[in-house]
Structure 1
Amino acid sequence: MTTQAGLDTADALTTLELTPGFDVTYLPRKIEELLDATEKPLHRAILKNYLRHALLEISGYWEEILVPELTIDEPVYRIAERGAVHSLVGHEAVLGFYREVFETKTNVMAARATNMCVGDFGVVTEMVFAHMTPGAVLVGQDIGQPVDPDSHYLIQHNVMQNFVYTAGAKLIGERVYDDPVSYSYGKLIPSEVVTPEMAREQLAPFLSRAALD
Structure 2
Amino acid sequence: MTTTLTTADALTTLDLTPTFDVTYLPRKIEELLATTEKPLHRAIVKNYLRHALLELSGYWDQILVPELTVAEPAYRIAERGAVHVLTGHADVEAFYRQVAESRTNVMAARAVNLGVADFGVVTEMIFCHQVPGALLAAEEVDFAIDPDAHYLVEHTIIQNFTYTSDAKLIGERVYDDPASYSYRKLEPAEVVTPELAREQLAPLLDRATLDLI
Q: Find the aligned partners of 2:193 and 2:37 in 1 and give their Cα distance.
A: 36
**Partner of residue 201 from structure 1, selected from 177, 199, 202:** 199
Following superposition, the deviation at residue 202 of structure 1 comes to: 0.3
Q: Find the aligned partners of 1:42 and 1:9 in 2 and give their Cα distance.
A: 27
Following superposition, the deviation at residue 103 of structure 1 comes to: 1.1
Q: Deviations over 1:115-144 (max 9, x none)?
A: 000000000000000001111111433312
Structure 1 letter corresponding to 2:192: V
Structure 1 letter corresponding to 2:29: I
Structure 2 letter corresponding to 1:28: P
Contact 1:6 1:15 in 2 (8 A): no
Following superposition, the deviation at residue 184 of structure 1 comes to: 0.4
Structure 2 letter corresponding to 1:173: G
**Partner of residue 85 from structure 1, selected from 83, 86, 94:** 83
**Partner of residue 24 from structure 2, selected from 20, 23, 26:** 26
Following superposition, the deviation at residue 83 of structure 1 comes to: 1.1
Is 1:128 matched with 2:126? yes
CA gap 1:5/1:97 in 2 versus in 1, 3 angstroms? farther
Identity over the aligned pairs, expressed in percent?
71
Q: Deviations over 1:94-125 (max 9, x none)?
A: 00100110111110100000000000000000
Q: Find the aligned partners of 1:203 and 1:103 in 2 and give their Cα distance.
A: 18
Q: Find the aligned partners of 2:35 and 2:97 in 1 and give their Cα distance.
A: 34
Q: Deviations over 1:54-104 (max 9, x none)?
A: 000000000000000000000000000011100000000000100110111
Following superposition, the deviation at residue 153 of structure 1 comes to: 0.3
The aligned residue for residue 99 of structure 2 is 101
RMSD: 1.1
**Partner of residue 140 from structure 1, selected from 134, 138, 141:** 138
Following superposition, the deviation at residue 41 of structure 1 comes to: 0.6
Q: Secondary structure at the match of 2:127?
A: strand
Following superposition, the deviation at residue 159 of structure 1 comes to: 0.2
The aligned residue for residue 60 of structure 2 is 62
The aligned residue for residue 163 of structure 1 is 161
Q: Secondary structure at the match of 1:19?
A: coil
CA gap 1:190/1:5 in 2 versus in 1, 3 angstroms? farther
Unmatched runs of 5 consecutive residues or more in structure 1: none
Structure 1 letter corresponding to 2:116: V
State TM-score, norm by structure 1.
Answer: 0.97
Across the two proteins, how many residue pairs are aligned to each other? 210
Unmatched runs of 5 consecutive residues or more in structure 2: none
**Partner of residue 180 from structure 2, selected from 175, 179, 182:** 182
The aligned residue for residue 38 of structure 1 is 36
Q: Find the aligned partners of 1:5 and 1:102 in 2 and give their Cα distance.
A: 45
State TM-score, norm by structure 2.
Answer: 0.97
Q: Which runs of 4+ in 1 moved over 4 A?
A: none
Q: Find the aligned partners of 1:82 and 1:149 in 2 and give their Cα distance.
A: 21
Q: Find the aligned partners of 2:188 and 2:4 in 1 and give their Cα distance.
A: 36
